[in-house]
Amino acid sequence: MKSKNIAQSGILIALNLVILYSASILPISTLSILTVASCITPISIIRTSIKNAILIYLSSSILSFFLVSINIAIYYTLFFGIYGIIKYFIERFSNLLIELILKLLSFNVLLMIFYIIAKSFLSIPHKFPLWLLWISAQIIFLIYDYALTLLISFIIDKFHKYNF
């Protein structure tokens, strides 16, 4: 590993933890801040490598259980942190239909795992029928994925050419 990649990885882990910690102290939507935190993984893939991105995800996930509230750590570990890595591998197919199917499949697997864990450890109020929440989650996920794609394109176009 290059020392440059190690330094960038440390900075990205620290930035990720600051963002995750801010989710518990700022009066802003937790999901909005977690969405910002999920941008760190694609940035680490662009700036370093996929191996470093996986290490950044694992390090941030482990440290988040010690430094931030448990629900934020679970949200980050089960979806927001790992999705950038999943997205990287899925988008290597370069076929829009296959990518969409695989993304929705992976999202639903992650959603099911999250639901099982959250049902056991977190309190989830049920004000709406579960099927309505599931359909809404699919739509919100597609919007989230598109926004993440736009952000990745922006980073590549504007910042990746600079070697800082």
Domain boundaries, the chain: 3-158
**CA pair distance 79, 74, nearest whole angstrom:** 8
Nearest Cα to Cα of residue 133 among 147, 114, 146, 150:
114
Q: What is the pLDDT of residue 122?
A: 63
Give the pLDDT band (50/70/90) at residue 70.
Answer: confident
Cα dihedral value 70, 54, 7, 5, nearest 10: -170
Mean pLDDT of the chain: 86
Q: What is the pLDDT of residue 61?
A: 93
pLDDT(31) > 60: yes
**CA pair distance 70, 51, nearest whole angstrom:** 26
Distance of CA 161 to CAs 40, 41, 52, 73, 133, Å? 18, 18, 19, 33, 41
Name the phi and psi angles at 3, rounded to 5.
-65, -30
Q: What is the pLDDT of residue 125?
A: 65
pTM for this model (two decimals): 0.85
Task: Please write the tens of the pLDDT for every residue from 93-134.
Answer: 888 999 999 999 999 999 999 888 877 766 666 677 778 888
